[in-house]
């Protein structure tokens, strides 16, 4: 009589359970404030964080985490090419970490607008950049004050995670971008490192595939994913970093 072996459990179940376990741990580490209060209260909290001591050390943190030197190399090697851009918007400029690269590598005649929710962070950016090129504007990513189709290039570094729903910011950015304009988007990913970033800066994290889908719905095409180094790509570290084009 033929003996039938008991069916084997699919291998993916174990990986799925492990993934769910990591997601639970990440959610426990992540700062819950953005899910618990109104956007107005959350926005005031974020402004207070960046106006205060944490904002004062932001540029130093970016240097120690190597985001500043690695970001410089990304622009220098034209992984995100600023050449040809005439009107550039730097979203959530902070202490001017990305704006500094833009001033350095964009065409001399390019116009640069830097905006941030925190007036104090813009003051720090002015002191750090020591350049007359940028125009500084206090603004909220969810309520952009710029006319339609104002920019042909956007840099948005670690700002989107301060919105409960990314559509609120991405739709506004799509509106102020010209057809064919490109954007460098960096944001915190829903992994273990991102969870600790969330805890420190009171922000949320994003799932890479879900964010790509939302961008596509808004006519923002992910042209390619970028990585600071090969090691970052292997380890899936450094957060989400993509070049986006408005269709």
Percent of the chain topping pLDDT 70: 91
- Mean predicted confidence (pLDDT) in 220-242: 94
- Looking at domain 28-142+150-246, its CATH architecture is 3-Layer(aba) Sandwich (3.40)
Specify the pLDDT at position 2: 41
At 199 the three-state DSSP class reads helix
Specify the pLDDT at position 22: 54
Specify the pLDDT at position 93: 96
Report the C-alpha gap between 113 and 154 in whole angstroms: 10
Cα of 211 vs its chain's centroid, Å = 11
CA atoms within 13 A on the CB side of 71: 27
Given a contact cutoff of 8 angstroms between Cβ atoms, the answer to whether 235 and 67 are in contact is no
Specify the pLDDT at position 64: 86
Specify the pLDDT at position 90: 98
Q: Do the bridges between strand 240-246 and strand 220-225 make them parallel or antiparallel, or are there none, so unpaired?
A: antiparallel
Q: Which parts of 52-165 fold into alpha helices (H)?
A: 53-56, 58-64, 67-76, 97-105, 119-129
Give 87-123 pLDDT, tens digit per residue: 999 999 999 999 999 999 999 999 999 999 999 999 9
- Mean predicted confidence (pLDDT) in 10-14: 39
Kindly tell me if the per-residue pLDDT of 189 is higher than 90: yes
Task: At 241, list the tokens.
Answer: 């970093």
Q: At what angle do helices 97-105 and 119-129 cross, to 10 degrees?
A: 40
Give 150-173 pLDDT, tens digit per residue: 999 999 999 999 999 999 999 999
Domain boundaries defined on the chain:
28-142+150-246
In terms of Cα–Cα distance, which of 28, 33, 154 is closest to 89? Answer: 154
At 28 the three-state DSSP class reads helix
Going by pLDDT thresholds of 50, 70 and 90, the confidence category of residue 27 is confident
């Amino acid at each position: 009589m033929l003996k039938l072996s008991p069916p084997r459990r699919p291998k993916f179940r174990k990986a799925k359970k492990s993934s769910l376990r990591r997601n639970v741990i990440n959610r426990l580490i992540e700062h819950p404030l953005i899910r618990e209060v109104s956007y107005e209260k959350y926005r005031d909290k974020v402004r207070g964080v960046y106006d205060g001591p944490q904002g004062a050390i932001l540029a130093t943190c970016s240097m120690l985490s190597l985001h500043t030197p690695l970001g410089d190399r990304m622009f220098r090697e034209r992984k995100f090419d600023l050449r040809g851009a005439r009107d550039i918007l730097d979203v959530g400029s902070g202490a001017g970490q990305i704006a500094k690269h833009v001033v350095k590598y964009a065409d001399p005649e390019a116009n640069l607008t830097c905006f941030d929710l925190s007036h104090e962070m813009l003051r720090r950016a002015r002191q750090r950049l020591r350049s007359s090129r940028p125009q500084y504007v206090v603004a909220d990513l969810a309520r952009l004050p710029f006319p339609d189709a104002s920019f042909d290039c956007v840099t948005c570094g670690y700002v989107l995670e301060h919105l409960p729903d990314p559509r609120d910011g991405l739709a506004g950015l799509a509106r102020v971008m010209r057809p064919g304009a490109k954007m460098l988007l960096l944001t915190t990913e829903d992994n273990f490192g991102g969870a600790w970033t969330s805890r420190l800066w009171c922000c949320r994290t994003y799932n890479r595939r879900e964010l790509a889908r939302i961008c596509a719905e808004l006519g923002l095409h992910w042209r390619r994913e970028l990585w600071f180094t090969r090691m970052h790509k292997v380890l899936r570290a450094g957060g989400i970093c993509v070049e986006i084009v408005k269709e």
